[in-house]
Amino acid sequence: MKKLLLLWVGMLLAMSAFAQNEEPTTTWPYLYPEFKEGELIRTNRKPEKALYNVHLSLSALHYVAKGGKIREVDTWGVTGVNIGEDSFRFVAGKMLKIMAQAEGGCIVQETKANFSSVIKDGGAYGSSTLTSTTTKSYLYNENALNQYNGYLMTDVYKDLLGMRSGGERLPVLTDLYIVIGNNLIPASKKSVSDLEGVDKKAFSKFLKAEKIKWSDVDDLVKVLDYITSTTLL
């Protein structure tokens, strides 16, 4: 019985350690714990196969180029990307995960890391294992973002993998949006009510009748259908 208990505790610790390594950190600010095989979709071009990941600062798409260097995708003509089993839509300069498809558009999710919380002086993340100068220069200062790697300690993929669990954990925030054409609409009552052509009173009645929850993807599909049926979007 004692051996079984020790084995169970060991498994829990191992699972906990694995889960921690899955989280984005100051040295691994990415959506996935490793770059995954995917296909980049461009207008009138064949799919471009590579290892891809989404950087959690500006929702930018990165890939592993020849020589093992991490590079940012040239977004000319890009409409989206498939990474593993997930599909993304490129809209408003961001690579956003598709949560649901509808006839008139789709529901997407942006996942971003709260970098600002890590560099607050004296805050919970102020005692990062990185020096404040290095942290600000490579991770959080938008002026340091370049066409190759963005907020990274190194652009060598193999080296960055080795640093993955060495930084501070990054808090992650998620936002849902409704996409109709090239319109990126925040999933909120105000954002939809302010759209041209939306009757605010009728829309309020619709929300009440359908018991819409703004965090529910299926409910957002209903809102999308309402928008496309009542406006010119």
Would you list the DSSP string of 70-105? EEEPP-TTEEEEEETTEEEEEETTEEEEEEEEETTE
Determine how β-strand 70-72 pairs with β-strand 60-64.
Answer: antiparallel
pLDDT tens by residue, 148-171 = 345 677 889 999 999 888 888 889
CA distances from 209 to 47, 106, 213, 224 (A): 43, 22, 12, 16
Res. 49 pLDDT band, cuts 50 70 90: very high
Please say whether the beta carbons of 71 and 82 come within 8 A.
Answer: no
Which run of H or of E encompasses 144? none
Greater model confidence, 90 or 153: 90
Report whether pLDDT(23) > 70.
Answer: yes
Give the amino acid at 90: F
